[in-house]
Amino acid sequence: MSGKSTMIFKLKGLAIFSVICAHMADLPDTADAANTFCANFVKSIGCLGVPVFLLISGYLFVKSTDRPFLAFWKNKAKTILLPWLLWASIIYAYVSLRHGGNGVLAWAKFVIGVDTPFYYLTSLCILYLIYFTQKRNTVFIAVTAAISVVMNLATACFYDTLAQFVNPFLNPVNWMVYFAAGMFIAQRRDLESIGKQLYKKRFVLLGAAVLIFAAVLIWGDYLAYWKPYSLPVFAVVFLLTAAFCCETNGGAKRDFWILAGEYSFAVYLLHSPVASIVLNLKNRLDLWPLTLAAPAAVFLFMVAAVFFIDRISEKLAVAKIVKPMIGIR
């Protein structure tokens, strides 16, 4: 597990499940009230994954050994840029064959994340650049986090207006607060010790999270990245998740979440075509149990598929080639 704590892998496993939920929540216009309620629940789960990934990335950015600029990006070229470019291009070709459209500009937009899930990687790389020389500068981190909070509130209140000037998903200022939070934690504590303290208050946090989700869903709304109440909700849910992820008793269930975390980047890169196919099938049937079950089915399938690829590549002695190509580290 490359020296990372099991807690971080569990967090990443839960985060990639959330990302899949985000891509499985769309409904047909004919959906009834029960199905809409279930879809709102799935959407609410789906908006938690990217903030968690960014927080973990900021945390590890500070905790990792310092490298010169070129050495840092040489490593990222192998572990992020290469598999990102490869699979974004393959998925773009798949989408083009199904729906038409081609050209260098359309491909570039697809790769950087214009209306695609790859906005996360574009934003992450920009955040690495912004904080590269400032990752231990507490004042800079605090100021940029505060600016990000203001930008998040502005995006929540004036989404349509701001979206005319910059894509909110590709605006790194919107994501700074999560990355900065991870760096701030890393400067002072480690996630394991925080999680162990939070574990003692897990039922209080669970109660708060349940009440928040219930209030939002009963109101007929759903959690999203940019709503006035989003940031405090994300904070409560992250603390709850950290509390349960630090629990150290063994068991197959927890081992699975560690495995899912290890494969999270590969699942992120590969899941879109599978999610799209399952989503279309689900929406043809338009049944609320499928709205709840489909994300879990895609998640389990993708973890199993990546596990299978990983093991087969080991057996065939091609792991050194295959693993970097699909994002297994």
How would you classify residue 175: left for phi > 0, otherwise alpha for psi between -120 and 50, otherwise beta?
alpha
Note the pLDDT tens digit of each residue in 173-190: 999 999 999 999 999 888
Note the pLDDT tens digit of each residue in 235-256: 888 888 888 887 554 444 558 9
Q: Cα(295)–Cα(30) distance, rounded to whole angstroms?
A: 20
Residue 251 has what pLDDT? 46
Note the pLDDT tens digit of each residue in 194-239: 888 888 888 888 888 888 888 888 887 888 899 888 888 888 888 8
Whole-prediction pTM value?
Answer: 0.92
CB contact set of 48 (below 8 Å; sequence gap of 6+):
15, 18, 223, 234, 237, 238, 241
The domain locations on the chain are 68-182
CB contact set of 309 (below 8 Å; sequence gap of 6+):
266, 322, 326
Q: Cα(327)–Cα(263) distance, rounded to whole angstroms?
A: 8
